[in-house]
Amino acid sequence: MPALIDIPSRPDVRVAHSVRCDGDFRPENSRVARRRIASGAWTQLTEDHGVTVRRVERPGDHDGSSGDVLLTNTEASVLGVWAGDCAPIVIVGRDVVCGVHAGWRGVRDGVIEAAIAAVRDAGDEPNTFVIGAHIRPCCYEFGVDDLTSMIDRFDASVATIDRHGRSALDLGACIRHVLAEWAPEASIIDVGHCTGCRADLFFSHRARGETARHVLAVWRTAS
């Protein structure tokens, strides 16, 4: 069964994190798996490691469209961020909910900033961020050239070593760096799991070459 994550400030918001036994949430395979998480019309994007934002005006809008950020203030619109090592993020505001696919390239190129800006453009303000399971530094060997680009983008705190002593990226530190600058008053809920370590719960392309994906989903219910 998926883990349900409580948002105390928004009792009308549901956030669910699937695990391995809930099925594969790649969009082309997710029809059955979606029903295990939430009824209602889902939207999942192609997740291209970019910064494109899609606003869902009606349940099911943009399902299968390109993009990495989903935003809605409508009820019964289920926003699904599918991932297998990248960080799925949910943003909750006073009225708006938002889903973000945050891989290292997207984080480098400003996908989180684009999502926060979209929430603010909608007349809202982020007050809670939920960071889903993603690959942690212990399992995230990272090439030196790409690591240098991330240090230049953020700072030296994002570079570390993995369990074997090889250069590694701390994707969570990159995310926290952005949130500290762009939404310092917001609360952060981090599920804390590493997709590389927790083969019993999550899929991982990098650690195990798996093609299946889990999902972090958010939707609004009737107030």
Residues whose CB falls within 8 Å of the CB of residue 166, separated by 6 or more in sequence, listed in order: 141
Cα 90 to chain centroid distance, Å, stands at 6
Taking the model in full, what pTM does it have?
Answer: 0.97
Helices (H), the chain: 31-37, 104-109, 111-121, 144-153, 171-182, 205-208
- Predicted local distance difference test score (pLDDT) of residue 223: 63
Q: What are phi and psi of 222, to 5 degrees?
A: -65, 135
Strand 69-72, strand 53-55: pairing: parallel
The two structure tokens encoding residue 101: 């696919």
- Predicted local distance difference test score (pLDDT) of residue 222: 76
- Predicted local distance difference test score (pLDDT) of residue 59: 96
Cα 164 to chain centroid distance, Å, stands at 27
- Predicted local distance difference test score (pLDDT) of residue 1: 66
Spatial distance between the Cα atoms of 111 and 54, rounded to a whole number of angstroms: 12
Q: Which residues in the chain show pLDDT less than 70?
A: 1, 223
In the three-class reduction of DSSP (H, G, I as helix; E, B as strand; rest coil), residue 66 is classed as coil
Spatial distance between the Cα atoms of 47 and 49, rounded to a whole number of angstroms: 6
- Predicted local distance difference test score (pLDDT) of residue 43: 98
Length of the chain measured in residues: 223
The two structure tokens encoding residue 134: 């993603």
